Structure 1
Amino acid sequence: MDRWLRRRHEEFLEGDAQQRVRGLVAASWTRSIAAGLQSDTAAPFAFQDGELASYRAEHPLAAVFPMLYDVLGRAAVDSDCVMAVGDSDGRLLWVCGRPDVLRAADGIHFAEGAWWAERHVGTNALGTSLELDTAIQIRSAEHFTVLVQPWSCAAAPIYDPATQRILGVVDITGTADAATPQSLAMVRAAARMAEAELGRLMVLRTVQGDAGQRIQIQALGRPDAEVRIDGHEFRLSRRHSDIVALLAEHPEGLSSEELSDGLYGEADHRSSLRGEVTRLRALLGADIVESRPYRLRHDITADWLETADDLDGHRLSSALRRYVGPLLPQSDAPGVVAARNRLENRIRAAVLQTHDVDLVVAWTRSYAGVNDLGAWEHQLALLSPTSPLWPAAQAEVRRLRTDYGLSTFRTP
């Protein structure tokens, strides 16, 4: 710990000084010291080139940033302050204000893409409000680092109206104007307005869905997926098809890491993934492809999932009619391959268990079952030797056993 920081911390522990220091600030300083921060620590930057734009474009707060700017950002522009909106981890997504004030803020790394979580830069309104899960104001000398002490700030968390989890934070940072009680009241009010708008948008999406909008994904037996929305058809690229298939498989949603693993395997391609999802949302709509976590709207249906539902309900005949081919047969995305194999194995297992010869015949005539030796043998066992289908089934069993290098077939 450097000398200045040690002296300040010792002052905080003295009785007289403790009375002059708010308890929450003293506790924040203690956490900052425990994190190994120094008095000259500067906020790091969290994103590489191009990552910030795609990340914030798909962030839920992108939908309410224009409103936040209108109700709070304009006030910041008219004063010696900047308004910032960050995510739930304290990364600054938007920073706005007058050009001269933005340049000054940039000198302390209070800029878009910087990481202002308390563990990275010590006591500050934005990071400490997230740490304490409450609106807070930090005045100049209460900041942990020397670089930030000429500034004052006020911040309030923004909550998801559906889950009540923190989505992000809104902050106003400046000189004397940011140290007033009115500043804290303004950021608190702005956060509540943002939550109200998010709730309104959520209700609007639900009402629109209930009004009859139908979204159907077709991906069985196709090299790429087709999405139909109220009569409009969208043919997706290979990678977008993989993303839609994986999200449909996981209606609860996937984190960026989980979705990246499903698309690319163990290699970390989260930066590429964010760009792909941004383009997919631009094509289909942000209300169709949600983020944090990534997920599709609940009212989406998909042909392979409907096939799985038929199997769950022991409706093999319906499942075989739907199953026109494997799920995205040309995809090599690990998660898609696993879903494809899982569905085909379930259908095959159901075919081998049924005693309905017509269903077995339907399978062996399909693309997936034409070379299925087990299914042909099961069909032959179910057929009467007097059936007109029996000779063809016998011939197929002989052919496949020969192709697979198995012992000579003996006619029952």
Structure 2
Amino acid sequence: MPNPWLALRFGADPSERIGQVGRAHERFVTGDPVPDQVRDVVADSWRRSAGALVDPDATAPIDLSDDELETYRAGHPLAAVLPVFRDLLGGIADDGEHIMAVCDAHGRLLWVEGHPRVLHRAEAMNFVAGARWDERHAGTNAPGVALAVDHSVQIFATEHFSRLVQPWTCAAAPIHDPLTGRLLGAIDVTGGDHLANPHSLALVQATARAAEAHLAGLGRAVGTRPGAALTALGRDEAVLTVDGRRVRLGRRHSELLVLLACHPQGRSGDQLGLDVYGDGILNPVTVRAELSRLRRILGPAVLDSRPYRLLVGLDADFVAVTRLLDQGRVAEALDAYGGPLLPGSDAPGVVRLRRLLDGQLRAGVLATRDPALLSAWTRAPWGGDDLQMWEALTTLLPSGSPRRPLALDRVHRLRGEYGLPVPAPADPAHRPQAARSGTPAHRPDTARPGTPVHRPDTARPGAPAAERNPRAT
């Protein structure tokens, strides 16, 4: 069976493939569905890019100034393994007329090194340190896709969403903190079409593993005691990393661990039962059985009983977002927000936490009146149908902004879908267009179960701390 992460099958004609995918791309950006000839990983990325309103003719934005870049990357964990990247890829990139790039978990390019002539060419598409190359800002590209799907991948020529990037081919692999499992960034090799071979993908995979091994050694050398990390945002089944082990939890165990993370002082079996099953459905035997199974999975050194509580420090992604919001760091909180908390869960305690976090973050973004943050919210899967956010964005974007007509169009479309009055636009260029074929329409009745609905009561001004802060519930 062909490797879905490789761009070309064995024996495929690169020129023929470039033309085939290029024609598919042109049809897609003009409103047609993605043809079957396009790889699934690429088709999915095109859809995400279109959903984020990425302009196929735009360049990636610069996210960090020179001074900001120097400060940020000096303190980044991947700075410790830059010599590993240079040893394994630096010489190859320079000799083979390629570029080696390292990005953080948000797609910001931290280091871009390689052949001088290739570096100069890459500047035309803003493939430079400080630029933002995640899918939401640059469309389909290897480091962006690798971060989005958490897997190594090749992106070949016309598979790129941006037309400016289509002369290039790249391969990238994600890099994780070996002690917590947290995504740190990605390593990428970019160059010509000759990179579309199994060797380039294997090379970035091996480099990523070498970097993780080096980070693990540094952790042991300084006496770092591994803690635990919980990833529960934007996924139905949480992932726990403890003592170097990555454990994918089932739905019920995910709910229990999220609830325990919010109550470091511990919870009784009855309390957890109410949080998970609600009133009238509580079965103490069922709750104890689930907790017993979870304790066997995690080990007695991680989960205690009487009361049930975690014995290790837990770095939970949703708690980190709440902490950033409490500190007024809304932009960082939005960057760290991977989506609704366990979106498929209907456990009362989790639903409450999910709505509180979503409401607090949404209120924080609106309060900034920062067009960049509001735009980032609307580009996210959970914000595409948020009418209030789109309407606020139209009032903040200057009249000459290329994004304003798109925002006005989305406002008109959503108001029509929600049965609200649609004001006649003053500018005919701003008239709403029919939804593109192949682009999913955002309707409230098609939201996946558990996805938070934006209601005024989710973040009431003056609400008590216990209602605004998931950790205080």
Q: TM-score, normalised by structure 1?
A: 0.49
Q: Which has the higher contact order (CA 8 A, sep 6+)?
A: 2
